């Protein structure tokens, strides 16, 4: 029954046959990405595990390669995205050889036929293909399919994301009230129970932490964070979107329901990381409303430094106890994350360049889950992979800051601010969790969207200094 995972691929081929890549993005890829669990996979011989979203993006990516190449405009970040996928495969394939110096013997017969090397190379190849499906192809879709259609496609995309997340939030009320996963309950009869053992539902404060189809509550929180920011942008950019009352005489509209559902979904995740990320993102947006961009960035950076210093001081006091002495779940989680840095830093320093890879990574003191994306990259892909990821984030942020510092149209400015707010929220949250499941694909889709933006600078008419001055004149009679 796992072959059901290929249904989105068939649906995408059918839509593409009608000649519309954008409809395939809106009607197939986004629903597969935001409504279906990615941790259910189809395993075919000699291929990486394929999830619902992977199946949907593959035919769309092939169509983009052949039909969208003429519209492609090369930029440095294109190379960073490709290198990020390469780093994942390279670290997996040659991490041991690159670390201990055996790379000088890669072409020698004895090393070439070794079981260890052949296994690692095979795993590295699969990791690279997985990176193409989850990073490169979504990035291409974001860069080629949104901005060329202008404002209309932007609004359709965000409206679709908002509607899908509202559905996820509504269905996840079951998870919140019962502490069980509705998504796993519905999928198990078709896909088996053995694939979802990693993602067990969690409880907090007497309620279930909803994870939706995204695996973990913090990952779900990041998805709802993205949806909230873009939903707020759409409400400002299109006053007519969803403004019709659903029930005559009552102030209930689609725009109101969508926003309320997304906020409720974010709250039901009970994840502090995304909450802090949303708070910082909205603070930055508010600063840009009252200050020039440069001053807003400086003030925001100063606030972040103060916040980080206070957080570090509080964390040092909060986590000084041993795990066995922790009195609450929150304190245990904080101690666990502090121990992660202590335990895994020696591994990072042992293989600085390319890391340990995923399958050859040793678990230190039983800490299998590395709940910090930056530490995770440093351990698995070394400083090379971490630097490439930070280059992608920095390139996007720099482009957006340049945009909002110029006199561009109001809709473009608000969208650039929304993109920046999403980046701030995600980069903050990633200090508490790894970037996995649908978060990866959505992040690179949005990164491609950012790179495609080319807002026209509004020209301010210059006054003619030779023209007669028609200011206030006092008339003497």
If phi > 0 it is left, if psi is from -120 to 50 it is alpha, else beta; for residue 19 that is: left
Q: What global pTM score does this model have?
A: 0.88
135-188 confidence digits (pLDDT tens):
999 999 999 999 887 788 999 999 999 999 999 999 999 999 998 888 888 887
Joined tokens for residue 464: 């003619």
* Cα 147 versus chain centre, distance: 19
Give the integer Cα–Cα distance in Å for 91 and 99: 10
- Report whether 162 contacts 231 (CB < 8 A): yes
The secondary structure of 208-256 as a DSSP string is EE--TTSSSHHHHHHHHHHHHHHHHHHHHH-TTTT-SBSSTTS--BHHH
Domain ranges of the chain: 150-270, 271-454
Closest-CA residue to 53 (of 43, 68, 63, 39): 39
d(CA 127, CA 84): 11
Q: What is the band of 474 on the pLDDT scale with cuts at 50, 70, 90? A: very low
Q: Which of 211-215, 344-348, 362-366 has the lowest mean pLDDT?
A: 362-366
Q: What pLDDT shows up at residue 268?
A: 95
Give the whole-angstrom CA distance, residue 301 versus residue 313. 18
* Residue 306 token pair: 């103060």
Average pLDDT over residues 182-210: 76
Instruction: Give pLDDT tens digits for 352-384.
Output: 888 888 877 788 877 778 888 999 999 988 899
Cβ 382 vs Cβ 433: under 8 Å: no
Q: What is the DSSP letter of 422?
A: H
Gap between the terminal Cα atoms of the chain: 96
- Mind giving me the DSSP string for 253-296? BHHHHHHHHHHHHHHHTT-HHHHHHHHHHHHHHHHHHHS-HHHH
Whether residue 106 is predicted with pLDDT greater than 60 in this model: the reply is no
Collapsing DSSP states into helix, strand and coil, what is residue 408?
strand
The rounded distance, in Å, linking the Cα atoms of 107 and 312 is: 49
pLDDT band at 321 (very low <50, low <70, confident <90, very high): low
pLDDT band, residue 459 (cuts 50/70/90): low
User: Rounded to an integer, what distance in angstroms lies between the CA atom of residue 336 and that of residue 367?
Assistant: 8
Backbone φ and ψ of 201, nearest 5°: -60, 145
Distance (Å, whole) CA 306 – CA 292: 21
From residue 286, how far is each of 81, 160, 283 by CA, in Å? Answer: 31, 26, 5
Distances (CA, A) of 288 to 234, 302, 416: 18, 14, 11
Query: Distance between CA atoms of 117 and 456, rounded to whole angstroms?
Result: 52
Write down the mean pLDDT value for the chain.
83
Could you tell me where the DSSP H helices lie in 68-212? 76-100, 109-112, 115-131, 137-145, 151-178, 182-191
CA-angle at 422, arms to 419 and 423, nearest 5°: 90
Q: What is the mean pLDDT of residues 242-264?
A: 83
Mean pLDDT of 304-320: 76
Is residue 329's pLDDT more than 80?
no
Most trustworthy range by pLDDT among 123-137, 294-308, 409-423: 409-423
pLDDT at 115: 56
Q: Which of 17-21, 83-87, 262-266, 292-296 ranks highest by mean pLDDT?
A: 262-266
Say if CB 358 and CB 90 are below 8 A apart.
Answer: no
**Contact present, 319 and 331 (Cβ < 8 Å):** yes
Helix, strand, coil shares of the chain, percent, nearest 5, are: 70, 5, 30
Compute the average pLDDT of residues 421-429.
93
Q: How far is CA 477 from CA 471, 472, 474, in A?
A: 19, 16, 10
């Amino acid at each position: 029954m796992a072959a059901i995972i290929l249904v989105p691929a068939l649906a995408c081929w059918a839509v593409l046959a009608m000649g519309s890549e954008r409809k395939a993005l809106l009607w197939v890829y986004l629903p597969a990405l935001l409504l279906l669990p990615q941790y259910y996979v189809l395993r075919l011989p000699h291929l990486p595990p394929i999830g619902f979203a992977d199946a949907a993006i593959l035919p769309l990516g092939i169509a983009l390669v052949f039909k969208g190449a003429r519209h492609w405009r090369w930029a440095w970040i294109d190379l960073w995205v490709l290198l990020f996928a390469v780093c994942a495969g390279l670290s997996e394939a040659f991490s041991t050889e690159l670390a201990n110096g055996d790379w000088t013997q890669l072409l020698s017969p004895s090393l070439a036929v070794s079981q260890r090397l052949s296994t690692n190379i095979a795993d590295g190849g699969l990791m690279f293909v997985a990176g193409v499906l989850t990073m490169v192809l979504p990035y291409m879709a974001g860069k080629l399919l949104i901005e060329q259609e202008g404002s209309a496609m932007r609004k359709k995309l965000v409206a679709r994301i908002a509607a899908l997340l509202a559905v996820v939030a509504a269905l996840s009320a079951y998870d919140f009230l019962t502490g069980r996963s509705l998504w796993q309950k519905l999928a198990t009869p078709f896909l088996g129970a053995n694939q979802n053992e990693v993602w067990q539902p969690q409880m907090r404060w007497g309620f279930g932490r909803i994870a939706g189809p995204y695996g973990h509550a913090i990952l779900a929180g990041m998805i709802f964070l993205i949806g909230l920011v873009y939903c707020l942008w759409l409400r400002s950019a299109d006053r007519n979107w969803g403004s019709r009352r659903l029930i005559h005489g009552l102030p209930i509209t689609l725009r109101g329901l969508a926003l309320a559902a997304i906020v409720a979904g974010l709250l039901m995740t009970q994840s502090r990381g995304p909450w802090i990320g949303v708070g910082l993102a909205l603070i930055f947006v508010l600063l840009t409303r009252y200050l020039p961009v440069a001053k807003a960035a400086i003030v925001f950076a100063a606030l972040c430094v103060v916040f980080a210093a206070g957080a570090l001081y509080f964390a040092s006091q909060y986590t000084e106890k041993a795990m066995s002495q922790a009195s609450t779940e929150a304190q245990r989680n904080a101690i666990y994350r502090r121990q992660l840095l202590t335990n895994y830093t020696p591994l990072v320093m042992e293989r600085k360049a390319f890391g340990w890879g995923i399958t050859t990574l040793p678990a230190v003191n039983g800490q299998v889950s590395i709940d910090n994306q930056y530490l995770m990259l440093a351990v698995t892909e070394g400083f090379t992979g971490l630097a490439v990821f930070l280059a992608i984030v920095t390139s996007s942020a720099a482009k957006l800051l340049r945009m909002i510092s110029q006199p561009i149209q109001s809709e473009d400015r608000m969208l650039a601010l929304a993109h920046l707010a999403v980046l701030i929220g995600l980069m903050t949250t990633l200090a508490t969790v790894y970037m996995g499941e649908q978060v990866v694909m959505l992040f690179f889709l949005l990164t491609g969207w950012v790179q495609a933006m080319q807002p026209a600078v509004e020209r301010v008419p210059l006054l003619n200094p030779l023209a007669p001055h028609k200011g206030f004149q006092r008339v003497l009679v």
